[in-house]
Amino acid sequence: MLWLAVHYPQWALQYFRYRNELKQSDEVLLYDPHSLQVLALDAGSLKAGVTVGMSLATAQSVAPSAILVEFDISLSQQASDWLCQWSYEFSARVVPLRCALAHDAHKDGRSSTKLHVDEFVCNTLLLEVSSMALIFNGIDKLIEQYAQRAKSYGLEVSLATGNTPLAAQLLAQQSSVMAEVTWSELLDSDKSDALLKQLSIDSLPISGFLKQSFLDIGVNSFAALCALPAKELGRRFGPKLLQLLAKISGVLPHPLIYFEPEETYLQKLTLLYEVELMQGIVFPLGRMLKEMASYLKQRQLAIQQLKLTLIYRDCERSQLDIIIQYPFAEHRSDNLLSLCRMQLERITLYQPVVEMVIYVDKFVPMAIANDNWFGQQTAQGQRPEKVLRLMALLQARLGSDKVKGLQATSAHLPEESWQATVLSVTGHEHRPVINSLQQLYDVGHQATGLSVGACRPSWLLTTPEMISIETVELLKGPERLQTLWWQEPQICRDYYIASHHQGGLCWVFKDGRDFFLHGWFG
């Protein structure tokens, strides 16, 4: 089994830069909100004289233009999930990355003992790639495409392959060792083993005490450490060190927990600035929806509703929860944003917004509709793509209560044989939802049992108009339509297709001695 390890130096800082679309020239400092000490910094801040562990006040005086960011441990899980979601396209077995800063924050007294040994390398993602060779036409092509994807996100990565998870992680962490090695050499198991033996003791995931102890006795490489008697190593430094060496070499198996996509979708963004107008929400929201669209495409899903939460600057004021509707199920980023923006235009912000959250708990299967204005519905009742897009835009602009569809009912009288209904992608599951009177009466043949020869107009008048028989010429009829015997009031009409003296075919009926105009044929 072959493993691909992807090391992301200072992952927390990289993810923050990507999330907020910062330039490489922008100086950023991550600090601990409790100790007010610098946790991570970029090259620009380092060049200015800032160091890890420096107090925030001193760092501000040394690099006054740097952006100060409070490190939030809860965001490390979101960062890891985002990375796993798009890495999932390259392998079905993805081992989530562990953020170094979050790991250090969770350390307790037991995990910081002198003989502490870790079985994972922080800031390093793992993918099993041997089973994906045929799909990507070779492991080298897979690695190349993954590197290009990471680069497109503006991420700095160091990649390596190994026959064991730990071996791949250690090699990926040592970018200097891999600098002049080609992919063809790296995929050679003999070459990979030789590089692994050259690794220094400092690169192993062991405590500082163990590293110094080995250096004191002249052991400064992984090969030299493996050459020592195993029994003596276990007696002096504990069995966990022996297990680590066995897992690196593949003598012992290395149990792993793989990434599994959640049944719900949650994305959180802390803004670098306060947004006072709804227009300012659109830009960062577009970025968030683009990521969600990638997630939906990967899982072949779409959404009909999402919850957008805007958190105000004043914590005492309740947050603003907005339900964004996508009645015909959407999965594309541009449509997600355009419909969302139209619905947000009707909302007013009462305070500056400092944080945004997107949450989706229900999904529907993705459906690719027919992109044809006049195309017939599919066997599953699917409407043409352009029609769905237009109706979704109308609903977003006017509101769902202002845009309705027509649905046939089993009533004999024409004015009672239809009803308004809510438009939805699932509206065709039980009874057909249609968008014109012509379709209404086409469906009505089946819904009400009309004969195939029954002809219905495409335009019914709201109220029938009394006319003189001299203004029309009866062409076909009569066709009697009447209420059922238990219904009140009792109505009995004889309908005719007629030619109007001003032109056009119309639908008229006789009630007693009077004639009434009820509709026009298109």
pLDDT tens by residue, 160-179:
888 899 999 999 888 645 55
Q: How many CB atoms lie within 10 A of CB 414?
A: 23
Is the pLDDT at 72 greater than 70? The verdict is: yes
Contact 353, 313 (CB under 8 A): yes
Which domain-ending residue is among 225, 249, 273? Answer: 249
Q: How far apart are the first and last CA of the chain?
A: 69
Residue 231 CA to residue 229 CA, distance in Å, equals 6
* Domain end marker among 404, 423, 447: 447
What's at 238, amino acid-wise?
A: G
How many Cβ atoms sit within 10 Å of the Cβ of residue 9? 16
Question: Is the pLDDT reported for residue 374 higher than 60?
Answer: no
Tokens, residue 298: 């990967």
Asked, for residue 58, whether it belongs to a domain, the answer is no
Residue 441 has pLDDT above 90, yes or no: no
- Is the backbone peptide bond immediately before 489 cis, with ω within 30 degrees of 0? yes
The yes-or-no verdict on residue 266 having pLDDT over 50 is yes
End position of a domain, from candidates 358, 376, 396 = 358
Determine what percent of the chain is predicted with pLDDT higher than 90. 33
Domain shared by 240 and 111, yes or no: yes
> Is residue 44 in a domain?
no
| Pair 145, 228 in one domain | yes
CB atoms within 10 A of CB 212: 12
**89 and 212 inside one domain:** yes
Within a 10 A sphere around the Cβ of 415, how many other Cβ atoms?
13
Residue ranges with strand state E in 32-123: 38-41, 67-70, 94-95
Domain assignment present for residue 291? The answer is: yes
Long-range contacts of 381-386 (CB under 8 A, 24+ apart): 381/428, 381/429, 381/432, 382/428, 383/328
Residues 142 and 282 in one domain: no
Q: What gap in Å lies between CA 156 and CA 162, rounded to an integer?
A: 20
Question: Is-contact 211 202, C-beta < 8 A?
Answer: yes
Sorted by sequence, the CB contacts under 8 Å of residue 379 that are 6+ apart come out as none
- The pair of structure tokens assigned to 285 is 């929201």
Q: Token digits for 411?
A: 């009533």
Nearest CA to 138 among 258, 298, 299, 2? 2
Q: Both 228 and 157 in a single domain?
A: yes
Examine residue 467 and state whether it is found in any structural domain, yes or no.
Answer: yes
C-alpha 320/C-alpha 28 separation (Å) is 30
**Residue range of the domain that includes 406:** 385-447
CATH code of the domain in which 278 resides: 3.30.1490.100
Strand pairing partners for 355?
Answer: 270, 311
Lowest mean pLDDT among 31-40, 124-133, 414-423: 414-423
The pLDDT of residue 443 is 46
Residues 334, 390, single domain; the answer is no
Average pLDDT over residues 106-115: 62
Please check whether residues 467 and 335 belong to one and the same domain.
Answer: no
Residues 409, 319 share a domain: no
Question: What is residue 319's predicted lDDT score, i.e. its pLDDT?
Answer: 87
pTM over 0.85, yes/no:
no
User: What local confidence, expressed as pLDDT, does residue 313 receive?
Assistant: 86
- Which is it for strands 3-7 and 124-128: parallel, antiparallel or unpaired? antiparallel
pLDDT at 368: 62
**Considering the domain boundaries, does residue 401 fall inside one?**
yes
Q: In what order do the strands lie in the sheet with 404-408?
A: 418-422, 404-408, 433-434
Q: How many CB atoms lie within 10 A of CB 44?
A: 16
Report residue 79 as tokens: 């960062």
Name the domain count of the chain.
4
272 in the same domain as 152: no
Q: Which helix (H) or strand (E) holds 296?
A: helix 279-299
Q: Which residues contact 315 (CB under 8 A, 6 or more apart)?
A: none
Residue 469 has pLDDT above 80, yes or no: yes
- Same domain as 79, residue 142: yes
**Pair (173, 111) in one structural domain:** yes
Please check whether residue 369 is in contact with residue 382, taking contact to mean a CB–CB distance below 8 angstroms: yes
Residue 23 is assigned to a structural domain of this protein: no
Is residue 85 within 8 Å of 69, Cβ to Cβ?
no
Amino acid identity of residue 473, one-letter, is E
Answer whether residue 425 is part of any domain: yes
The answer to whether residue 430 scores a pLDDT higher than 50 is no
Does residue 389 lie in a domain region?
yes
pLDDT in tens, 8-53: 998 999 998 888 888 888 889 999 988 999 999 988 899 989 999 9
